């Protein structure tokens, strides 16, 4: 198959878009990056967010171009920033493409059935009709049959590969045939490509000016809450997308964290999810009432199961939500299940296997995003078996794991920090978020909580912790270490960590420790603090009540 270089893009762009004069800012027109900006009526008081973000996200686009190849990054990118549109999720890109190429009330788009529902929703919003091609046996794609679905008003053709909700990669020969022969824009949605082990279609962009590839940071990079997505295409298509989008479509935090993720995240979680996907598929196939688990190259499984609506209802009752896809063409009797972590998948399997005494534990979610770090923390107040801790600092991970064991509180922590500089910001921001979480835990107690302290021996070391969850902050520290580091943790940061913790948790904390081994001193401190917190958070006043002239808090 040869390159499709005869495609005339301009003939497909709506007339009003071709002549559109986009919104422009004085800042863009000046060409200056470092200046006194008095052009946009922003507040002059620096809050960290008082200035508008980059209107065309140049820094993010450059990084996205560099890291365009799918995991496991075996190809070098052939793209530049001019080949990248950065938007508010890939849904923004879908909407923009329809607005640029489809005339409302006249043109149509072509999609698969079943596939991602937003193509149809975005078309409906823009008064553009939809032609659907029903996938064949095993959700296979026949290029000629699909092309015959289109007519002279079909301007966009959407292919999702791996496809949602079926999980399969579309046949490459069929996709290339469509690229060659479709008289319009071919959009390949690669939201799940990083879970597939496939090269995708990035390498085809130079040869096919009618090709657009969609990517998202919501799936493999775990940034769904930031809403960052991309379109990769020839420079002309990208220029139209940047022309039509809203001026400041992507907020500052989203841009900062997305750049940090590209540069620092090795995406170890992708391999873990792929391994869990295969394990979950095997275990689901053994569940009574499961008729088929479809092969998947995504981070979910399509499962043919008896009475899908009843299964969905039962799981919801126990705090687990899956997606009923039984009304989608070709998915009759099916549900879609996202691949979770091992403990989450085990809970799902237990419930499907009839162990209905199980229930998803309550969780509390917290986050902090700065120029230096991105911290995401989920606490499970009653389930310390959940211990997924990734701070980037190995010794701190070990200490926080001990905290979970001894406090009875589960933790899911994921941090992207500037460890290339030093550990300070990462340690400090984790302490801030964990302190806020502890404050939220004791404020949520509806039966009161205790005030207490705890002394703990650790081999030759001893630590004593006094804790008062009284809503007021004070901190006393009497601990000495011999060396500069315990593992990769600088010992001067221990007092700062706990003081920051107490300050943001709004509690009184006194800590004293001695010993001959720095490792053991650190372990004793974290264990004793965790035990004190466990007692202080307990509602079992008969066991732990401490006399107080103020009564029980």
Contact of 517 with 459, CB cutoff 8 Å: yes
Same domain, 374 and 282: no
| pLDDT for residue 136 | 95
Which of 211, 229, 264 marks a domain boundary? Answer: 264
Query: In whole angstroms, what is the distance from residue 270 CA to residue 13 CA?
Result: 38
Flag whether 283 is in a domain: yes
Q: Residue 238 gets which letter from DSSP?
A: H
Q: Under DSSP, is residue 232 helix (H, G, I), strand (E, B) or coil? A: strand
Q: Is the dihedral of CA 177, 302, 277, 273 positive or negative?
A: positive
**Residue 24 lies inside a defined structural domain of this protein:** no
Q: What pLDDT, in 10s, does the model give residues 137-187? A: 999 999 999 999 999 999 999 999 999 999 999 999 999 999 999 999 999
Residues 274 and 342 both lie in one domain:
yes
Query: For residues 279 and 288, what is the distance between their CA atoms, to the nearest angstrom?
Result: 17
- Pairwise CA distance, residues 520 & 461, whole Å: 6
Q: Roughly how many angstroms between the first and final C-alpha of the chain, as a whole number?
A: 75
Determine whether 343 is exposed, middle or buried from the number of CB atoms within 10 Å of its CB (0-12, 13-18, 19+): middle
One domain for residues 514 and 529: yes
Q: Across all residues in the chain, what is the average pLDDT? A: 91
| Cβ-Cβ contacts under 8 Å for 56 (sequence gap 6 or more) | 28, 242
Angle at 386 between CA 385 and CA 387, to 5 degrees: 105
- Output the domain CATH number for residue 61: 3.40.640.10
pTM of this prediction? 0.80
Q: Please, which pLDDT band fits residue 363 given cuts at 50, 70 and 90?
A: confident
Residues 75 and 100 in one domain: yes
Q: Is residue 451's pLDDT more than 80?
A: no
Q: Give the list of residues 6+ apart from residue 189 with CB closer than 8 angstroms, or none.
A: 90, 116, 158, 159, 160, 161, 214
Predicted local confidence at residue 444, as pLDDT: 77
**Same domain assignment for residues 82 and 174:** yes
Nearest to 15 by CA among 86, 130, 106: 106
Same domain flag for 473 and 337: no
Do 500 and 369 lie in a common domain?
A: yes
Pair (377, 475) in one structural domain: yes
Tell me which of 297, 329, 352 is where a domain ends: 352
pLDDT higher than 80, residue 548: no
Same domain, 328 and 292: yes
Per-residue pLDDT of 20-61, as tens digits, reads 988 888 888 888 878 888 888 988 888 888 888 888 888 999
- The answer to the question of residue 393 being in a domain is yes
Residue 13 lies in a domain: no
Which three-class secondary structure string do you get for 263-285? HHCCCHHHHHHHHHHHHHHHHHH
User: Do both 347 and 379 map to the same domain?
Assistant: no
What is the domain-level CATH number for residue 291? 3.90.1150.10
442-452 mean pLDDT: 66
Do 124 and 239 sit in the same domain of this protein? yes
Domain of residue 160: give its range: 56-264
The answer to whether residue 359 sits within a structural domain is no
Listed in sequence order, the residues at least 6 apart from 405 whose beta carbon sits closer than 8 Å to its beta carbon are: 384, 387, 530
The enclosing domain of 395 has a CATH number of: 3.30.230.40
My answer on whether 151 and 252 are in the same domain is: yes
Domain count, the chain: 3
Q: Decide which of 307, 326, 352 is a domain's last residue.
A: 352
Q: Confirm whether 380 is domain-assigned.
A: yes
Contact 27, 193 (CB under 8 A): no
């Amino acid at each position: 198959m040869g390159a499709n270089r005869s495609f005339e893009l301009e003939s497909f762009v709506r007339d009003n878009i071709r002549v559109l004069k986009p919104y422009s800012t004085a800042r863009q027109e000046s060409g200056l990056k470092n200046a006194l900006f008095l052009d946009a009526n922003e507040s002059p008081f620096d809050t960290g967010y008082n200035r508008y973000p980059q209107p065309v996200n140049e820094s993010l686009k450059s990084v996205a171009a560099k890291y365009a190849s799918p995991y496991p990054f075996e190809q070098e990118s052939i793209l530049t920033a001019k080949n990248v549109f950065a938007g508010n999720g890939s849904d923004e890109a879908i909407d923009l493409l329809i607005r640029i190429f489809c005339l409302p009330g006249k043109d149509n788009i072509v999609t698969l059935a079943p596939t991602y529902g937003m193509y149809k929703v975005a078309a409906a919003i823009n008064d553009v009709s939809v032609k659907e091609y029903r996938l064949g046996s095993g959700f296979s794609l026949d290029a000629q049959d699909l092309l015959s679905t289109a007519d002279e008003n079909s301007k966009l053709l959407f292919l999702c590969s791996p496809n949602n909700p079926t999980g399969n990669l579309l046949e490459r020969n069929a996709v290339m045939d469509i690229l060659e022969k479709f008289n319009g824009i071919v959009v390949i949605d690669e939201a799940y490509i990083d879970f597939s082990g496939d090269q995708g279609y990035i390498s085809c962009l130079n040869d096919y000016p009618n090709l657009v590839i969609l990517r998202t940071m919501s799936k493999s990079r775990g940034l769904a809450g930031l809403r960052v997505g991309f379109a990769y295409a020839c420079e002309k298509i990208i220029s139209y997308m940047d022309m039509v989008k809203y001026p400041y479509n992507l907020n500052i935090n989203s841009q900062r964290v997305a750049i940090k993720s590209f540069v620092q995240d090795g995406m170890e979680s992708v391999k873990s999810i792929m391994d869990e996907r295969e394990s979950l598929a095997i275990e689901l196939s053994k569940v009574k009432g499961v008729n088929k688990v479809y092969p998947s190259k995504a981070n979910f499984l399509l499962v043919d199961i008896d009475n899908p609506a009843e299964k969905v209802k039962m799981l919801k009752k126990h705090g687990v939500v899956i997606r009923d896809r039984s009304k989608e063409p070709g998915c009759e009797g099916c549900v879609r299940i996202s691949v979770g972590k091992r403990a989450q998948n085990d809970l799902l399997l237990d419930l499907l296997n009839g162990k209905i005494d199980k229930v998803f534990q309550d969780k509390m979610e917290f986050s902090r995003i700065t120029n230096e770090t991105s911290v995401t923390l989920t606490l499970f107040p009653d389930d310390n078996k959940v211990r997924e801790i990734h701070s980037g600092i190995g010794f701190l991970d070990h200490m926080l794991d001990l905290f979970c064991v001894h406090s009875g509180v589960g933790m899911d922590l994921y941090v992207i920090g500037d460890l290339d500089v030093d550990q300070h910001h990462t340690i400090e921001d984790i302490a801030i978020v964990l302190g806020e979480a502890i404050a939220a835990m004791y404020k949520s107690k509806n039966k009161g909580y205790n005030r207490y302290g705890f002394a703990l021996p650790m081999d030759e070391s001893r630590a004593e912790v006094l804790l008062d969850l009284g809503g007021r902050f004070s901190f006393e520290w009497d601990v000495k270490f011999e060396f500069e580091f315990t593992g990769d943790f600088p010992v001067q940061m221990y007092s700062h960590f706990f003081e920051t913790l107490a300050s943001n948790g709004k509690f009184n904390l006194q800590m004293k420790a001695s010993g001959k081994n720095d490792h053991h001193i650190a372990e004793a401190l974290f264990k004793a603090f965790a035990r004190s917190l466990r007692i202080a958070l307990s509602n079992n006043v008969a066991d732990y009540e401490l006399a107080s002239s103020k009564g029980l808090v």
